[in-house]
């Protein structure tokens, strides 16, 4: 494998603790208290479903994400252990890294903050305006823009929509589980629990 297209939340960065803790707190401030575990599960599935779960209107949701985008608000979002090692090794072997996320450009700010931006050749965020996953449009754009061979390209993400977007674009797929119980139902070709697993699979 040569070209690696990475999801951001729950794949490159452990952001869920940050996001869910802030959302749990934010809704409690408004008199709506939810079970943390249930909130975590729905956020991991899809943030649109989390909004419906919380009954948040558009203004509330926009304000929450304004707060959530503060990089220094604890609990801090951080790269998973071994992330930089994997990214740098891919480059050392002549490969390339790309970011494909539904998150806005805050994801790029995180990469800059943790000195990981330098490992990426291209980015697709919400600002690019592509249809959301599992539509293949953003991946097809990266394939065309950077002349990537689909046979040497893989989409890595923690949700099934990441996997389906890769399949729909005709590339390889890997589910990054980090303990996610939904892994058993995945259509992914590969499964990795952590960065060490990814090294063993693709960087032997």
Provide mean pLDDT across the span 157-170. 96
H-type alpha helices, 46-154: 47-54, 58-68, 83-92, 106-113, 137-145
Q: Which residue has the higher pLDDT, 124 or 178?
A: 124
Do 166 and 91 belong together in one domain?
yes
Interstrand relation of 13-14 and 78-79 (parallel, antiparallel or unpaired) = antiparallel
Same domain as 192, residue 94: yes
pLDDT at 182 over 60: no
Predicted confidence at residue 185, as pLDDT, reads 64
Q: Which residues pair with 176 in a beta bridge?
A: 192
- pLDDT class of 44 with cuts at 50, 70, 90: confident
Does one domain contain both 168 and 141? Answer: yes
155 and 101 fall within a common domain? yes
Say which CATH number the domain at 110 has.
3.40.50.1000
pLDDT for 179: 73
Q: Residue 181 pLDDT > 80, yes or no?
A: no
With 70 as the cut, is the pLDDT of residue 71 above it? Answer: yes
Question: Which tens digits make up the pLDDT trace of 80-120?
Answer: 999 999 999 999 999 999 999 999 999 999 999 999 999 99
């Amino acid at each position: 494998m040569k070209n690696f297209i990475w999801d951001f939340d729950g794949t490159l960065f452990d952001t869920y603790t940050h996001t869910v803790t802030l959302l749990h707190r934010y809704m409690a401030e408004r008199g709506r208290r939810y079970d943390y575990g249930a909130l975590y599960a729905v956020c991991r599935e899809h943030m649109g479903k989390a909004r419906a779960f919380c009954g948040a209107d558009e203004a509330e949701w926009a304000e929450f994400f304004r707060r959530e985008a503060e990089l220094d608000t604890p609990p801090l979002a951080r790269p998973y252990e071994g992330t930089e090692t994997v990214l740098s090794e891919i480059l050392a072997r002549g490969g390339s890294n790309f970011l494909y996320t539904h998150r806005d450009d805050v994801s790029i700010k995180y990469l800059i903050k943790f000195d990981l931006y330098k490992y990426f050749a291209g980015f697709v965020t919400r600002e690019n305006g592509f249809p959301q996953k599992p539509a293949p449009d953003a991946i097809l754009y990266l394939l065309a823009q950077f002349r990537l061979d689909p046979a040497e390209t893989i989409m890595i993400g923690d949700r099934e929509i990441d996997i389906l977007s890769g399949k729909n674009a005709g590339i390889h797929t890997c589910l990054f589980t980090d303990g996610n119980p939904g892994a058993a139902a995945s259509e992914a070709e590969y499964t990795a629990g952590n960065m060490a697993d990814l090294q063993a699979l693709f960087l032997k």
